[in-house]
Amino acid sequence: MRRLVPVRAGEGRAVLGVGLIAVLYAAAVGVGDVVSQSIFVARAGASALPRIFLLKAAIDVGAALLYLPMSRGRHPAAVLRLTLVVYIATVLAGHALVGAADGAAPAYLLYVGHECAWTILTIHWGVYLLDVFDASQARRLFPILFGANRLGGALAGLVVGAWAARVGAAPLLLVACGLALFALAVSFAPSASRHRPAAPALGESPAESLLDDEAAVRDAQPGLFRRWVRGWREAARSPLVRAIAASTALMVASRYALRLVSSTGIENAFQGDEDLIASFLGDFDALSNVVGAFLGVLVLPRLLAAVGVGAVNLAYAIATAAAPAAALIAPSLASAAGARFVEMALKDAIKTPLSALFYGAEPPAERAPARALVFGAVIPLATLAAAAGLEVSRRSADPLATAAAFGLGAALLFVAASWQQNRAWRTRLRELLDWSLAREKSRGGQPDPERLATAERELPSEELAPIARALASPDRRLRAVAEEVLAETVERRAAHRIARALDLQDEKRRA
């Protein structure tokens, strides 16, 4: 297995525990998404999607505002459990509504409720992973863990595809609840969380504990609304967070356009039959998620090692432009399916793990406020703008073509914003390294002499001296940041060679 996936010794239990949660959580939301979308399209029609985008934008703000007090003062593993409980309760309520009454109103409530409960889970999932794994592990392991999400999506597709036409779409919401409940149970396993010591060990960088203390001070301040505003304002000071916000806003616009294109094509093909739509979406999502899992587990780690985070991030943005272009040139069920693949499976396999990596350049205490800002303010505002634009396209002479043109324009701007995000990320990584080194020095942390000698021999220039010192730190997380900076500073083959030389030195010392 280690020849196929980059899991190192000592990481297996954590990867297995978190990966199982990823499969179950993704399967749960996958079943819930397909069922809620199928019921909505069948009862309200794909033409109503721009209206629901407007409603969802408003509720997403509330979801993100709810997430901040949920996350403050709690370990990320405890917050994950709480978000799963919220998801289960929301889906159970939606199941009761659609079972009690026909018509569009219950379909609206189910769709919006599911999307918003899913939003809270999505906000926290990246924060949870960045707590369990450090920056260096994230580059290697996040593609695998998000690939596990795609396996969960494939499982969801198989379940819906096999049973929607037999038992109906709505009863499968109970399956989504059962899968989420199983994920909740697995989250209590010791391997699924990282427990920090009460104080840093001798020689360990104090960066994390200091950031935790700063967060605790903020938590003690009165006024929930003031804490929301302060947290978002502090997050927005970061140039990286602002770059992420711009890129995310444009991605949201392009993805909603792709969703409208795909939903319209699928609705036309199956003439509005909710069970047939659910069956098709289940089969298609099973296949597309298997492909996404293959890309995430086997392809993406090698791409990141070969060309880097920035290049892969830019490649996904280009794919979001290619999909609406195909719908403009040849509108059909095939182009609709392609738009759905780019909007969902490819995004989850490629873009979602990359997004979590970008937040890893922020200090640990600032990651939750940054994600809450993006999910609670930027995404809803972008959703409102996209919904308004797509509502205009719905009223045009050729709604499908207008929506595809809207998506193409947003995607081209998304490509430019992704390029700027890459630049801001590299700068922020270097700032995080310098800040962490200063903190370590102020607390009297000393580098390992043998590692420092090896690192300085491999990195002799004065410009690379901070990286060499950080690589010699006894703090594993500081070394992980240094490895990220190294990978984005020198030629990739040289970065791999230096990291390998230090690893071999450590193996000899342990032997």
Give CA 438 to chain center in angstroms. Answer: 30
Do 24 and 121 belong together in one domain? yes
379 lies in some domain: yes
Domain final residue, candidates 405, 431, 457: 431
The Cα–Cα gap between 416 and 251 comes to 11
Which residues span the domain enclosing 122? 12-191+238-265+273-431
Give pLDDT tens digits for 188-240: 887 666 543 333 322 333 333 333 434 443 444 445 456 556 666 777 788 89
Do 172 and 256 belong together in one domain? yes
Do 293 and 180 belong together in one domain? yes
The count of other CB atoms within 10 Å of the CB of residue 209 is 18
Give the phi and the psi of residue 24 in degrees, each rounded to 5.
Answer: -70, -45
208 lies in some domain: no
Stretch 119-135: mean pLDDT, rounded?
A: 81
* % of the chain with per-residue pLDDT over 90: 16
SS3 content of the chain, % helix, strand, coil (to 5): 85, 0, 15
The count of other CB atoms within 10 Å of the CB of residue 392 is 14
Give pLDDT tens digits for 143-186: 778 778 778 878 888 888 778 777 878 888 999 999 999 999 99
Do 496 and 426 belong together in one domain? no
Stretch 446-454: mean pLDDT, rounded?
A: 76
Residue 88: what pLDDT?
A: 94
Residue 136: what pLDDT?
A: 64
Do 46 and 94 belong together in one domain? yes
Residue 228: what pLDDT?
A: 57
What b/e readout covers 61-84, taking b as 16+ CB neighbours within 10 angstroms?
bebbbbbbebbbeeebbebbbbbb
222 lies in some domain: no
Q: Nearest-5° angle of CA 169, CA 123, CA 291?
A: 55
The Cα–Cα gap between 371 and 68 comes to 10
Do 451 and 356 belong together in one domain? no
Do 306 and 376 belong together in one domain? yes
Residue 441: what pLDDT?
A: 74
Residue 123: what pLDDT?
A: 80
Is 53 a residue whose pLDDT tops 80?
no
350 lies in some domain: yes
Give pLDDT tens digits for 394-418: 676 777 788 888 889 999 999 999 9
Give pLDDT tens digits for 340-393: 999 988 888 888 888 878 887 887 777 777 887 887 778 888 888 888 878 776
Give CA 424 to chain center in angstroms. Answer: 19
299 lies in some domain: yes
404 lies in some domain: yes
Q: Which residue has the tokens 């616009």?
A: 253
Do 377 and 494 belong together in one domain? no
Give pLDDT tens digits for 55-109: 777 777 777 777 767 777 678 888 899 999 999 999 999 899 888 877 788 888 8
**What CATH number corresponds to the domain at position 342?**
1.20.1250.20
Give pLDDT tens digits for 16-36: 888 899 999 989 998 998 888
Q: Nearest-5° angle of CA 38, CA 40, CA 43?
A: 105
The count of other CB atoms within 10 Å of the CB of residue 99 is 13
476 lies in some domain: yes
Would you place residue 444 in the very low, low, confident or very high pLDDT band (cuts 50, 70, 90)? low
DSSP state of 206: -
Domain final residue, candidates 406, 431, 456: 431
The count of other CB atoms within 10 Å of the CB of residue 317 is 23
Q: What are 494's two structure tokens?
A: 């040289």
- How many domains would you assign to the chain? 2
Domain final residue, candidates 431, 464, 494: 431
Distances (CA, A) of 477 to 111, 112, 360, 459: 40, 39, 11, 20
309 lies in some domain: yes
* % of the chain with per-residue pLDDT over 70: 83
Would you place residue 248 in the very low, low, confident or very high pLDDT band (cuts 50, 70, 90)? very high
The count of other CB atoms within 10 Å of the CB of residue 214 is 14
Do 353 and 457 belong together in one domain? no
- The rounded mean pLDDT for the chain is 78
Do 401 and 461 belong together in one domain? no
Do 358 and 410 belong together in one domain? yes
Do 380 and 485 belong together in one domain? no
